[in-house]
């Protein structure tokens, strides 16, 4: 399932996938896969994304 909340949070922060990937120290493809719902990130990466986007885990990843 697509993670549209993460995509919109990233867009609201005016960050590209590349920039978010750099902040979280992962590849752009990983961010793309998470947004598309192709990959379930570990809690460590979820936290890094939440910190980068100033959101809570619930806001971005809770169904």
Partner 1 sequence: MKNVFILILLLCVAMPMVIIFYALSKNNKHDYDEMQELARGKAGKLAFLITMSLCGAYYLYDLFAGDSLLRLSGSTLALLVFGVGLAVFSSYCIMHDAYFYVGTKDGLKSSCKINIFICIICFVSLAMCSPKDFFEIKNGIIGLSGVSCFTPFILSIYVIDTITFFLKIRQEQVLESLEE
Which of 5, 13, 15, 39 is the binder for partner 1 (CB under 8 A)?
39
The DSSP secondary-structure symbol of 38 reads S
Q: Tell me if 23 contacts partner 1 by CB under 8 A.
A: no
Measured CA to CA, the distance from residue 28 to residue 25 in angstroms comes to: 9
Q: State phi, psi for 12 to the nearest 5 degrees.
A: -65, -35
Only segment of 8-16, 21-29, 51-59 that touches partner 1 (CB under 8 A): 21-29
- Chain contacts with partner 1 (rule: CB under 8 A): 21-22, 25-27, 29-30, 33, 39, 41-42, 44-45
């Amino acid at each position: 399932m697509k993670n549209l909340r993460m995509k919109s949070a990233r867009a609201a922060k005016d960050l590209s996938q590349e920039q978010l990937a750099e902040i979280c120290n992962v590849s752009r493809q990983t961010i793309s896969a998470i947004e598309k719902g192709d990959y379930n990130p570990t809690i460590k990466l979820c936290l890094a994304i939440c910190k980068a986007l100033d959101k809570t885990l619930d806001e971005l990843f809770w169904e």
